[in-house]
Every structure is written in structure tokens, then in C-alpha cells.
A = this chain, B = another copy of it.
């Protein structure tokens, strides 16, 4: 049995297709008696509007595409939740796609969304915004980069002042008397990493503290754990570790606890980045640089729909101080 169409509904209700369409889209233009009759017919036939046909004629969809670097990362998950929420308020819907850091997959999803003529595209690109993306914008698809600032005028963007974030973290550490600081991240070439490190370096230099870039195998818990284990094998260990995200910091914390020789925060202070949900519930609650993930998602959607008047929104990160950098705590220590 073929799915019911407006034509079927119209026949059943004894009206024309135009009227059915109006019941669907402009209910107040239809006399209430007619409207009810049509609605009854819709219910009886189990009519479901064919979105393809609607879109073909209307020329625009009510769907926003969101391509994420990694849907499993709590930060991006939160960002997506914010975007969905905001979109819902504007009667749009967000469809998620996870590129898993794979450029080909990213491209597949961009293609798909463009063919679907989405209202707009939100994307945290794998590498530098690709030619494919520029093309998209050239064809008039509203595009907003999230968690990435756009150099050019090409894209809108909703990002965070990561230089400031890096500075905040290290200023806090030196204010607590720390002098030998390790900065942990995977690839110094990544924009976000580079910015955070630049801010950190500025603060360290201003205070005359040491700052060393320590490379990890990935921005994950395991990466943090492995890098920290290496660090602890040295003769002189840092008295503070600043991680480029909370997953890394979680791994470092685990390595410190397993090692057992150093207390957090007494012997080593630890700062993360993002303030993901798990940061506050770590064994030693993590001091971290908070980025407003949900708000970033919301804003990006608002920009896309043209309700925000700025082309680039840059959020100020803020320092959230917790036990992992406290100066005098017996309780919050992880080892004895």
C-alpha cells in the first residue's frame, strides 16, 4: 500500500489539495469546520507529509547539519545538546554527524548535508577549513565554524579565546607558587593547542617560571596517563601540570595516584581545560578552564539563523578553581 498523499487526504475530506496544504501550513486561513474534517481524514489515513516534496517546492529545509570532530567527547556532546536546544526553539532540527577525525568521512557528511539543502552547516573541521568547505560557502550555504575561529571573512565562527584561557591557567599556578610547569597536549600544530600554549607561555615568562611543552600520543585519558608516567621517571619532576583538555588531566591524575609518590595538589598541581562534566567528579576535583560548550552550540545556531548580529563570537573562558590546585588541603589529597 502506497503511503497516503495530500491528494488522498483531499479526496477523503472532500476538499482540494490546496486546502489540505493550508490546514498543514496556515491553519488559521481555513474555516474551523473544514479544518477538522481534514484533520480527521489525516488521522484516518495515517498521512505523513513527504518532506522531500515539501522541500523541493519550498526550496529550503528546517534542518541544520552539525558535523563534529568526535561525538564521544563530552565537550562536543554538550555543544551539540546546546545547539539542538536552540534550534528547537526556532522550529528547526539538528542532525548530528561524527567525522571521527577522518577527513574523508567529514567530506561525505558535508556532501550529504549540501545535497539535503540544509538551512546551514555547523562544523568543527578536522584540519584547516578545506577547499570543499569554501566551495560550500561560495554556493551560499550559511556555515559557522564551532570551536575554531575563522581567520577570513568566509565563515562565521563561535570560538573561545584560548590564548586567554592558557594565560588564566598558568597565572593561577604561578600565583600558587608553582615554578616548573609542564604543558601537555598532542599536536602543537593544532590551532587550539597552539593558542593555549601561547597564553601559557606569556604568563610563565611574565612570572619567570619554567614552562615545557610535553607531547602526548592523543588527547585522551590514555594519552595523559602515558605522558605523565614518562614525566615521573625523570629526576626533576614538575610541580604543576597544565593539560590541554580534561581527558588528559584525568589520565595524569590516574598516573600520579598509581605512582603514589606525589600528592595532588601538595606536590603537583593539576589544571585541565574544558570543564567537562567529569572534571568536578574526578577523584581529586579538577581545577580547569571552563568553556561554555552549551552556550557555544546555542550561539552558533543563532548566528546561523541570522538572529545574532555578529559574524564572529569569541567567548571568554573562565578559570574554575577546585581541589587539584588548592594550596592547603589535607582532605582533597589523593595519596597519603
Binding site for B on A (CB under 8 A): 1, 3, 46, 48-56, 61, 63, 71-72, 74, 77-78, 80-81, 84, 88, 93-98, 100, 105, 108-109, 112, 114-117, 135, 138-140, 221-222, 225, 251, 254, 257-258, 277-278, 281-283, 334, 336
Asked if A80 and B88 sit within 8 Å, CB to CB, the answer is no
Q: How many copies does the complex hold?
A: 2
Which B residues are in CB contact (< 8 Å) with A54? Answer: 115
Asked if A74 and B71 sit within 8 Å, CB to CB, the answer is no
Which B residues are in CB contact (< 8 Å) with A78? Answer: 72
A221/B97 contact (C-beta < 8 A), A50-B117, A52-B53, A114-B48 known:
no
Question: Chain B's nearest CB lies how many Å from the CB of A268?
Answer: 16
Question: Chain B's nearest CB lies how many Å from the CB of A85?
Answer: 9
Which B residues are in CB contact (< 8 Å) with A100? Answer: 81
Asked if B97 and A95 sit within 8 Å, CB to CB, the answer is yes
A95/B96 contact (C-beta < 8 A), A50-B117, A53-B52 known:
yes
Asked if A116 and B225 sit within 8 Å, CB to CB, the answer is no
| CB closest residue in chain B, given A222 | B281
The prevalent SS among residues of A at the interface is helix
Asked if A96 and B93 sit within 8 Å, CB to CB, the answer is no
Question: Chain B's nearest CB lies how many Å from the CB of A117?
Answer: 7
Asked if B3 and A51 sit within 8 Å, CB to CB, the answer is no
Which B residues are in CB contact (< 8 Å) with A74? Answer: 72
Question: Chain B's nearest CB lies how many Å from the CB of A106?
Answer: 12
| CB closest residue in chain B, given A47 | B139
Asked if B3 and A139 sit within 8 Å, CB to CB, the answer is yes
Which B residues are in CB contact (< 8 Å) with A115? Answer: 48-51, 54
Which B residues are in CB contact (< 8 Å) with A96? Answer: 71, 95-98
* Distance in angstroms between the alpha carbons of A225 and B277 in the assembled complex: 14
Question: Chain B's nearest CB lies how many Å from the CB of A9?
Answer: 15
Q: What are the nearest 5 A-B pairs in CB distance?
A: A72-B77, A51-B115, A96-B96, A52-B55, A52-B56
Which B residues are in CB contact (< 8 Å) with A112? Answer: 51, 63, 93
Asked if B221 and A281 sit within 8 Å, CB to CB, the answer is yes
* Distance in angstroms between the alpha carbons of A122 and B10 in the assembled complex: 32
